[in-house]
Amino acid sequence: MDMVLVLSDDVAAASRVATILQRTFLVDRALSVREAKFAIKGGEHAGVIMNLEVASRGRVTAAVKELLAYGSKPILVLTGHQKEADIVQIFHAGADECLPSTVAGVELLARARAMIRRQENHLPVGADIVIGALRINPVGRVVTLDGRIIELAGREFDLLLALARRPGYTFGRHELQKALWGEHSPGRLNVNTYITRLRQKMGEVAGRPRFLHTVYGKGLKLHGSGVGQLRQPEQIAATVRKIES
């Protein structure tokens, strides 16, 4: 399930919007642009719903620009500024959607779904995916890390590609199984096996990840934190044995 961030300067308005969105999304909240920037730092949010009801048009457009400069997330703006010039300026600032604050809940939910779906489908199928020092070529099925090719088996590549297409998003167990085998999953143990193999070949371990981050109780996500260090195969094997013992 995708997570969206509701940015609102009004608690009651935020609750109304969150209640609507919770039919489809996990919902996080922020009461200021500063809080929103901190919230999206981890990259888990699929989009932002901005509802600054008492803000001027200038403040709304400035908030959109500030969030986009901090992280590339699709933004749906709810605002009372509905003159043509207002809407044009909000779109020019970088918003993906602009709706009146009084929009019906069913339309808000449909627009949010469509916005996020467009974002997920925006990446061309054959385009390289680059996350820090990690580069993935989906067509050639080639992975390089720090300029060196990593040899991955078929399902190891499929797992990495699924994670990389949605950097920062936490994949649950069922989603990881689906990435590996479609709807027909042989079980939990096999998922753990492929995660371990992928970590080993990328030179990292769960306790000090560079790209593959375990979210305890939720699943696995990929983002380039730069925290981990590249290790030699013998170091990796020894550390894995220590963790699993």
**CATH class assigned to 3-121:** alpha beta
Sequence ranges of the chain with CATH classification 1.10.10.10: 129-244
Sequence ranges of the chain with CATH classification 3.40.50.2300: 3-121
Cα distances (Å, whole numbers) of residue 91 to 46, 57, 101: 19, 12, 16
H/E element, 46? strand 45-51
pLDDT for 6 equals: 93
> Do residues 177 and 185 touch, judged by C-beta distance below 8 A?
yes
pLDDT for 74 equals: 86
Closest CA to 174 of 1, 47, 25: 1
- What residues pair up with 130 in beta bridges, in sequence order? 135
Cα distances (Å, whole numbers) of residue 101 to 3, 175, 228: 21, 34, 44
Q: State the residue for tokens 């993906």.
A: 96
Sign of CA dihedral 218, 176, 223, 73: negative
pLDDT along the chain (245 residues), means of 10: 86 90 89 85 80 85 86 84 87 87 92 82 67 87 91 86 88 83 59 87 86 90 59 39 39
How far is it, in rounded angstroms, from Cα 30 to Cα 40? 10
Closest CA to 169 of 220, 240, 236, 225: 220
pLDDT for 42 equals: 62
pLDDT for 88 equals: 86
How far is it, in rounded angstroms, from Cα 204 to Cα 228? 7
**CATH class assigned to 129-244:** mainly alpha
Cα distances (Å, whole numbers) of residue 187 to 91, 122, 159, 178: 46, 32, 15, 11
